Amino acid sequence: MSLVSYEFLAFFAAAAILYYVVPKRVQWILLLAVSFLFYAAGGAVYLLYPMITAVSTWFLALRIGRADSAAQTYIQEQKPDKEQKKAYQARIKKHKKRLMTAGILLNFGILAVLKYTDFLLGNLNVLFHLEEGAIPQISWVLPLGISYYTFQTMGYLIDVFRGRCRPEKNLFRFMLFVTYFPQMVSGPISRFDQLKKELFEEHSFDGTQFTFGLWRILWGFFKKLVIADRIAPAVAMITAAPDVYDGIYVLVGMLGYTLQLYTDFSGCMDIVIGVSQCFGIRLPENFQRPFGAKNLSELWRRWHMTLTGWFREYIFFPVSTSRFCRTVSRFAGKLGLHKVTKKLPVYIANLIVWFVTGIWHGAAWGFILWGLANGIVMMVSQEFTELYRAFHRRFPKTDGSVYGALQKVRTGLLFSGLLMFQYYPFGTVFAMLGNLLARGRLSQLFDGRFAELGLAAADFIVIAIGLVLMLLIGVLQETGSVRQKLAARPLVVRFTAVFLLFVMVLVAGCYGHGYDASQFIYNQF
Amino acid sequence: MRWKKPVCVLLLAAVGVTVIAGLQRLLMPKYMGQVVEGNLTSEYYEETTPHDVVFLGNCEVYENISPIVLWREFGITSYIRGNAQQLIAQSYYILEDTLKYETPGVVVFNVSAMQQFDQNNESYNRMTLDGMRWSASKWNAIRATMMEDEHMMEYIFPILRFHSRFAELEADDLTYFMKSGKVAHNGYYLRADIRPAGDLPVERRRSDYSFDPRSWEYLERIRALCENNGIQLILMKAPSLYPAWYDQWEVQIEEYASEHNLQYINCLEAADEIGIDFSQDTYDGGLHMNVYGAEKLSRYLGPFLLGAGADDHRDDAELAAVWAEKGLFYDSMKAQQEEEFAQFGYLKQFTTEE
């Protein structure tokens, strides 16, 4: 069930009414039931996968929790000496680690098998110079949101292992954490200790919060249906035919895809967060005006924040402080590479994070290259930090707003350019960028190819209005919540603003007959 | 002033609903250009006098029969509740809908609709169903014939279906914003241009000539509905050369009519007797009659309808006045089309300029 379908709107409306009608203590049970229904709408059999993940993780986390309790009891009751205590704690830690490893292997194993088997088989075909399809593809059907709920659940298991959160004793409550319906499709990836209060506490109807939630949903619909889906066919045409669309069109395709990706994904997040707000549940934000970033690292701190946060927490920190990294670092020191000794663990962890980021986004070398390219650009940029500082000291005017704006443009272009690795082969990206620099002319926009993209004058007007509106909202967001600002205005102003947005979605949205059912790009991960 | 806020909210809500309703009307197609069929269903509700005969079916009724001739020559009051590719299930629910307003003595159902149960083009559904007044019959008609990618919501709120027309609005959308113009003559779509029947597509052999069981089910429902309301049901096959009407289908319909003691008139077989000249009486190469063919067919059908219970109402002054006005509209459109065809060799409204 797509989040931008009539079915979803009806489903959400029914769920919201029931949510505030049933006794508050059973609100979470209702959410669990509707989450199951939502998931089962795509095929009841696919409910099996999140159930395996939920039950196995719940059970293992409980066992880890019990091991911790047993250790505490032992220490309190037996009062062992220091050596005994240390040995016992080591044994318990080993036991807990085994439980956690089992959970991680099982659940990431399911994800890996379902998502990456065909990628592996395809590579084997190439590696052994076999005919195409000699090792046939399996083409598993991916359960909805598997990457999201697997990461979220594994984050919980690791947190329990680390003692950062207590294991949930109630299996059904834990199931709600795994399958909470607005969130499981595309995130945001939440932490159990943050989300449990939101999910399980009793919520009274709050008109302001409900209205804010609806406004957020409407804004998400606007981004998705009015902008993302309107430019999608043109972007698809450009990116599918780099031979036809060369020169300036490389830039048009690059920026178009970035805009589509952003409006599609952030629109989806607006709907998810808005729906949750209507239930009184606050979810973490996934975007924070990413194109206001002045460098790539900052952009990635503002883009898909819960995923990058997950990688930082559960991959970057453990890897960079791992025994392996320490050993490599020491080895580099012995070789006399003192300058990189401290940086090596960070570099290794960074490369691993960006490799995983790439492959998380898609089972293809293009995605892996895209991830690694991002990591490498940021590491190189890090190396030049001193140089940048010296530059700014030498030219103090570069701290001004004009240079800042240029930095934002440069960062946006860099991000867009790197995205090309996702959908073109490695060599083609450089060839196309070379073509853009060598042959790109603004006059090419008027050579007839632009008219063949299927966008009419009305489409351009709608896109232009959409972009201006997004820019305006972005600027207003810098000084606080736009919805709160709007709520402080007189009723007529509030009504006019929301009604105009509603009419834009209603009339200029790409939905219904004649349009492909709109699937969100990030649903496929 | 505690009342101020609720009143303000109500006022704003009213403004919102009015704007959306206006937008919906603006964005809905007006069907006043090349395609006028979208107005056929709704024009029925403007009728002020009852009808002895109601015709049901697809283009083979609304393009082939002239109610004006039936009135002028036999005094029969009739209405054609047909539309482009109107499915048999839609005909059933439209008959159900008709019975809410009147009970005709005779219903004539054109059996060519038996050959296709499922809709293959969404726009045909819209043209037939959008004009129906809301009732259980409309709801059921939509449910029974909606295509896989259609939604009930888009029938309830047509703006959800036609919103993308904002980029292609024409002068007609403003001209006919309040109300579409009248396009038909008691459901009859008049064409006075001539395109002789020529080579028709070769008949394709089929592995199975049985009608869809669901078509039979709805024919049975139409029959039962007529029987329960004391209406004489007549089955007919219009004299359209294409799509082909196979002998195997003919046999099945004849058997059904005989089994249920229904009158079945195959006008295709009787084309010579009717006097149809396929070089003069069709406007699209033999698929549909033009006004000359339709008038001939109507003259042929008149005696059957009188025999089935329709009355001659020409002595009724009130009806005569109403039909005289209809006749004027008919004559003026026919004359205007004849003149245009004589001058250009085509009708501007129905041809596309290169």
Peptide bond connecting B213 to the previous residue in cis, omega within 30 degrees of 0: no
Chain segment A105-122, per-residue pLDDT in tens: 999 999 999 888 888 888
Q: Look at the alpha carbons of B326, B327, B330, B332 in this order and tell me if their dihedral is positive or negative.
A: negative
Residue A391, pLDDT score? 84
Contact B8 A514 (CB under 8 A): no
Is B27 in the A-facing interface, judged by CB distances under 8 Å? yes
Question: What 3-state class would DSSP assign to A40?
Answer: helix
Closest CA to A101 of A371, A318, A357: A318
- What single-letter amino acid sits at B141? A
- The verdict on residue B140 lying in a domain is yes
Q: What confidence category does residue B1 fall into, taking pLDDT thresholds of 50, 70 and 90?
A: low
Residue B207, pLDDT score? 82
d(CA A516, CA A19): 32
CB A187 within 8 A of CB A286: yes
- What single-letter amino acid sits at B75? G
Chain segment B47-88, per-residue pLDDT in tens: 999 999 999 999 999 999 999 999 999 999 999 999 999 999
User: First and final CA of chain B: distance in angstroms?
Assistant: 65
Q: Which of B9, B12, B163 sits opposite A507 (nearest CB)?
A: B163
What count of residues does chain B have?
354
Is B121 in the A-facing interface, judged by CB distances under 8 Å? no
The conformation of residue A480, written as its DSSP 8-state character, comes to: S
Q: What confidence category does residue B250 fall into, taking pLDDT thresholds of 50, 70 and 90?
A: very high
Whether residue B191 is predicted with pLDDT greater than 60 in this model: the reply is yes
Residue A429, pLDDT score? 86
Instruction: For B91, list phi and psi in degrees, rounded to 5.
Output: -60, -40
- The verdict on residue B26 lying in a domain is no
- What single-letter amino acid sits at B98? T
CB atoms within 10 A of CB B22: 11
- The verdict on residue B54 lying in a domain is yes
| Pairing label, strands B78-82, B232-237 | unpaired
CB A402 within 8 A of CB A289: no
d(CA A12, CA B47): 43
Q: What confidence category does residue A497 fall into, taking pLDDT thresholds of 50, 70 and 90?
A: very high
CB A302 within 8 A of CB A293: yes
pLDDT above 90 covers a percentage of chain B that reads 81
Q: What token pair was written down for A18?
A: 């029931």
d(CA A74, CA A64): 15
Closest CA to A305 of A254, A357, A365: A357
Residue A427, pLDDT score? 84
Residue A439, pLDDT score? 85
Find the helix packing angle between A401-423 and A248-278, rounded to 10°.
90
CA atoms within 13 A on the CB side of B196: 5
d(CA B305, CA A95): 92
Contact B12 A495 (CB under 8 A): yes
CB B294 within 8 A of CB B188: yes
Q: How far is A282 from chain B (nearest CA, A)?
A: 28
Domain of B266, CATH number, reads: 3.40.50.1110
Peptide bond connecting B243 to the previous residue in cis, omega within 30 degrees of 0: yes
Q: Give me chain A's average pLDDT, please.
A: 89
Task: Give me the residue label for tokens 């038909």.
Answer: B184
Question: What 3-state class would DSSP assign to B78?
Answer: strand
Q: Which of B8, B20, B161 sits opposite A491 (nearest CB)?
A: B8
| Pairing label, strands B106-110, B53-57 | parallel
CB A474 within 8 A of CB A412: no
Domain count, chain B: 1
H, E, C per residue of A254-321 = HHHHHHHHHHHHHHHHHHHHHHHHHCCCCCCCCCCCHHHCCCHHHHHHHCCHHHHHHHHHHHHHHHHC
All residues at 6 or more sequence positions from A287 whose CB lies less than 8 Å from its CB, including other chains: A262, A265, A266, A269, A302, A303, A304, A305
CB atoms within 10 A of CB B347: 17
Residue A521, pLDDT score? 59
d(CA B11, CA A117): 60
Is B160 in the A-facing interface, judged by CB distances under 8 Å? yes
Instruction: For B106, list phi and psi in degrees, rounded to 5.
Output: -130, 140
Q: Which residue has the higher pLDDT, A395 or B270?
A: B270
Is A44 in the B-facing interface, judged by CB distances under 8 Å? no
Q: Which of B12, B151, B167 sits opposite A6 (nearest CB)?
A: B151
The parent domain of residue B283 ranges over: 38-164+171-345
What's the mean pLDDT in B251-259?
A: 95
Task: Spell B210-240 as b/e; 16+ CB within 10 A means b.
Answer: ebeeebbebbebbbebbeeeebbbbbbbbbb
CB B54 within 8 A of CB B108: yes
Closest CA to B297 of B312, B318, B276: B276
Q: Which of A491, A492, A513 sits opposite B154 (nearest CB)?
A: A513
Q: Look at the alpha carbons of A304, A307, A308, A313 in this order and tell me if their dihedral is positive or negative.
A: positive
Residue A297, pLDDT score? 92
CB A412 within 8 A of CB A290: no
CB B54 within 8 A of CB B79: yes
Is A463 in the B-facing interface, judged by CB distances under 8 Å? no
Contact A512 B163 (CB under 8 A): yes
Q: Which residue has the higher pLDDT, A123 or A472?
A: A472
Contacts of B161 in chain A (CB under 8 A): 512-513
CB A184 within 8 A of CB A39: yes
pLDDT above 70 covers a percentage of chain B that reads 99
Q: From start to end of A369-517, where are the E strands?
A: none
d(CA B322, CA B71): 11
CB B113 within 8 A of CB B87: yes
d(CA A310, CA A301): 12
Residue A139, pLDDT score? 73
Find the helix packing angle between A344-361 and A323-334, rounded to 10°.
130
Contacts of B27 in chain A (CB under 8 A): 507
- The verdict on residue B351 lying in a domain is no
> What is the helix (H) or strand (E) element at residue B232, kind and residue range?
strand B232-237
H, E, C per residue of A206-238 = CHHHHHHHHHHHHHHHHHHHHHHHHHHHHHHHH
Q: Please count the residue pairs, one from chain A and one from chain B, whose beta carbons lie less than 8 angstroms apart.
A: 49
Chain segment B301-345, per-residue pLDDT in tens: 999 999 999 999 999 999 999 999 999 999 999 999 999 999 998
Q: How far is A362 from chain B (nearest CA, A)?
A: 30
What's the mean pLDDT in A434-451?
A: 84
Contact A506 B16 (CB under 8 A): no
Whether residue B354 is predicted with pLDDT greater than 70 in this model: the reply is no
CB A223 within 8 A of CB A216: no
- The verdict on residue B352 lying in a domain is no
What's the mean pLDDT in A218-225?
A: 96
Whether residue A513 is predicted with pLDDT greater than 80 in this model: the reply is no
What's the mean pLDDT in B136-161?
A: 94
Q: What are the beta bridge partners of residue B235?
A: B109, B264
- The verdict on residue B51 lying in a domain is yes
Contacts of B167 in chain A (CB under 8 A): 456, 458-459
- The verdict on residue B27 lying in a domain is no
Contact B27 A507 (CB under 8 A): yes
Contacts of A507 in chain B (CB under 8 A): 23, 27, 159, 163, 166
Task: Report residue A181 CA to chain centroid gap.
Answer: 16
Name the H helices within A303-400: 305-311, 317-320, 323-334, 338-341, 344-361, 365-383, 385-394
Residue A524, pLDDT score? 54
Whether residue B136 is predicted with pLDDT greater than 90 in this model: the reply is yes
CA dihedral B199, B205, B206, B207 (to 10 degrees): 180
What's the mean pLDDT in A438-443?
A: 84
What's the mean pLDDT in B286-292?
A: 91
Q: What angle do CA A187, A189, A195 make, to 5 degrees?
A: 110
Residue A15, pLDDT score? 96
pTM across the whole model = 0.87
Contact A492 B8 (CB under 8 A): yes
Whether residue A337 is predicted with pLDDT greater than 80 in this model: the reply is no
Q: How far is B34 from chain A (nearest CA, A)?
A: 21
**Lowest-confidence segment of A39-43, A363-367, B42-46 by average pLDDT:** A39-43
Whether residue B203 is predicted with pLDDT greater than 80 in this model: the reply is no
What's the mean pLDDT in A507-521?
A: 73
Chain segment B78-115, per-residue pLDDT in tens: 999 999 999 999 999 999 999 999 999 999 999 999 99
CB B302 within 8 A of CB B76: yes
Residue A518, pLDDT score? 53
Q: What token pair was written down for A270?
A: 């607006």
Residue A341, pLDDT score? 81
d(CA A507, CA B74): 50
pLDDT above 70 covers a percentage of chain A that reads 98
The conformation of residue B121, written as its DSSP 8-state character, comes to: -
Whether residue A128 is predicted with pLDDT greater than 60 in this model: the reply is yes
Task: Spell A468-477 as b/e; 16+ CB within 10 A means b.
Answer: ebbeeeeeee
Whether residue A130 is predicted with pLDDT greater than 70 in this model: the reply is yes
Whether residue B240 is predicted with pLDDT greater than 80 in this model: the reply is yes
d(CA A62, CA A186): 27
Chain segment A176-195, per-residue pLDDT in tens: 999 999 998 888 999 999 99
- The verdict on residue B19 lying in a domain is no
